Chain A
Amino acid sequence: MKDFDYCAPDNLQAATALLAEHGDRARVLAGGTDIIVQLREGLRSADCVVDIKNIPELMVLDYSSSQGLTLGASTSCHRVYTHAELPTAYAALVDASKIVGGWQIQTRASVGGNLCNSSPAADTIPALIVHQASCQIHGPDGSRDVPVADFCTGPGQNILQSGELLVTLQLPAPAANSSSAYERFIPRNEMDIAVAGAASWIQLDSSGETIEDARIALAAVAPTPVLATEAAESLRGKPANEESFAAAGELAKNVASPIDDMRGTTEYRVHLSSVLTRRTLARALARIQQGQG
């Protein structure tokens, strides 16, 4: 690996000052499971690596059923899925966190880092989108909030400007009679990168028969994770059943514009979009019915 300077600031001001000073010659180090590989392989380069794991705000995990979740940008996937309440409150995010790499990756890799790496195939991003997460970003000019749905701009690209740092992700408190799910298709059983992925969130009315609201987001079928808005909106007022889910799955195909590569053809990925949409909607419904929502 080409040499670099390593800094581990213990406060936000020092971190953003370092990032501002070095501009695009600085790289943030959270879990390291993406950036160290990239530095080693020359895909990204840095003169200064800024380890942010000593900054308390970036390591938080605060959840309450009334306030929702504040998740530090460096908080590991493992902390997310081993939390007592998050599997119920944010099922899709927990589904995704459990399958980012394997155990040894999940003890280090962070949800925030998965977002900032901005792969179109990132597993946690569709989940964050359907949970309506927002990003708290700190930079030399102050702080700003960006909805996670607007964060990624292209493969490996996002709205972070030079000197800016993702500090926390904020997820609203879970709504009553709602649940979610994330699933991906991979050729093996574990450890792969999504060929296609879908996160769905639904909320039922008080009768439990009708869908009041829904959100669907897809991974690996576009240059960025993408919302299937038309498919989700089509579910409002529909009965919560297989037929509705199948129809939504068909509509979800319309936002899929995948590439053709060794992992899958365009045609197959579009097909997978509908299958995974259908399955995650069904799983979210089952979770609500089983009292997990």
Chain B
Amino acid sequence: MGTKQLVSTTINGEPSQFLCEARQSLLEVLRNETGLTGCKEGCNNGNCGACTVMLDGQPVNSCLVLGLEVDGKEIQTVEGIAQENELHAVQQCFLEGAALQCGICTPGFIVAAKALLDENPLASEEEIRFQLAGNLCRCTGYDKIIRAVMEAGKQMAETTTS
């Protein structure tokens, strides 16, 4: 107990290693050991989604994953979504649509929304609301978030067909 183990992963496409105790969650490790403070601790029990990251291509609540569980796995955080100084459509639409106020939920929403739109860019409003039910927002009332996601989806669909 109290001993740290070495974990080797790929984070946002780059090899990354860190030491962590068994009891440290992936959320704690990302924020405190790797300096990737994009993911946030909103509830620490899997209800709010502010800690959402991609693990081997699937969105997860990083507060419910142990740091030791990700050895050999691939992680993508919100920091890995923009490409070469160009914001992703989801990020751009959040900005232009004013889909954030305090911004605490925003990294989790962006990671989850991008994952949703990658699979289904023309998802309906109902599908988006259902699929993003694991992301909670206390500020916006969700309306502008959903509109931003739908707009981003439209742009992503147009990009793939043009």
Contact = CB atoms under 8 A, between A and B. Distances in A.
Q: Pick the most buried of A6, A37, A49: most chain B CB atoms within 10 A of its CB.
A: A6
Nearest to A3: B1
Given A2-B23, A37-B64, A40-B44, A51 B131 contact: no
Contact of B133 (A5, A29, A191): A191
A23 interface: no
Interface stretch (A96-104, A151-159, A216-224, A283-291): A96-104
A190 interface: yes
A103 B131 contact: yes
Contact of B23 (A4, A41, A51, A190): A4
A78 interface: yes
Nearest to A79: B58
Interface residues on A, range: 20 to 34
A41 B47 CA distance: 14
A107 interface: yes
B100 interface: no
Contacts of B131: 103
B46 interface: yes
B60 A104 contact: yes
A84 interface: no
A10 B51 CA distance: 29
A66 interface: no
Contacts of B49: 102, 104
Given A3-B21, A78-B58, A104-B46, A189 B64 contact: no
A263 interface: no
B129 to A, nearest CB: 8
B65 A108 contact: yes
Nearest to A190: B133
B134 interface: yes
A33 interface: yes
A32 B66 contact: yes
A33 B116 CA distance: 21
A105 interface: yes
Q: Would you call the interface of chain A mostly helix, strand, loop, or mixed?
A: loop
Interface string B23-36: 10100000000000
B123 to A, nearest CB: 12
Interface string A1-23: 11111101000000000000000
Contacts of B93: none
B72 to A, nearest CB: 10
A258 B2 CA distance: 43
22 contacts: A1-B23, A2-B23, A3-B1, A3-B2, A4-B1, A4-B23, A6-B5, A6-B66, A8-B68, A33-B64, A36-B63, A36-B64, A36-B66, A51-B69, A78-B58, A101-B46, A102-B132, A104-B52, A104-B60, A105-B61, A108-B60, A189-B130
Given A105-B61, A105-B64, A189-B133, 19 more contacts: A1-B25, A3-B21, A3-B22, A32-B65, A33-B64, A36-B25, A47-B1, A102-B134, A103-B112, A103-B116, A103-B133, A103-B134, A104-B59, A104-B112, A107-B59, A108-B65, A189-B129, A190-B134, A191-B133
Of all A-B residue pairs in the complex, the 7 with the closest CB atoms, nearest first, are: A102-B134, A190-B133, A6-B22, A107-B58, A1-B23, A3-B1, A102-B133
Interface of B: 1-2, 5, 21-23, 25, 44-47, 49, 52, 55, 58-61, 63-66, 68-69, 112, 116, 129-135
